[in-house]
Amino acid sequence: MLRRGDVCPRCGRAISYFHYWRKGSRVYVSAVHYLGRSGGKKIIEKCYLGSYSAEEAERLFGVPRG
Ligand SMILES: [Zn+2]
């Protein structure tokens, strides 16, 4: 399972957290990288990791089902 702090399979940077959303029976997952601040704004970058079934998303990324 991938967790926060693990290396992103797309860009090799540490994963700050996951962003996910559901559409139909699929779960779409992005890794989010927090890169610091600029002018009071958070700088983040997202790497899209793909779409998964609810079961896969839970197993691979710890996304709660439901
Ligand atoms: Zn990445």
11 CA distance to ligand 1 centroid (A)?
A: 4
32 CA distance to ligand 1 centroid (A)?
A: 7
pLDDT of 46: 98
Q: For the chain, 66 residues long, give each residue's pLDDT as a single digit of tens.
A: 899 999 999 999 999 999 999 999 999 999 999 999 999 999 999 999 999 999 999 999 999 987
Element of type H or E holding 59:
helix 54-61
List the shell of residues around ion ligand 1, using CB closer than 5 Å.
Answer: 8, 10-11, 31, 47
Among 11, 3, 9, CA closest to 44? 11
Where are the domains positioned within the chain?
A: 17-60
Distances (CA, A) of 46 to 38, 41, 59: 17, 16, 21
- Token pair, residue 66, equals 């439901």
pTM, entire model: 0.88
39 CA distance to ligand 1 centroid (A)?
A: 23
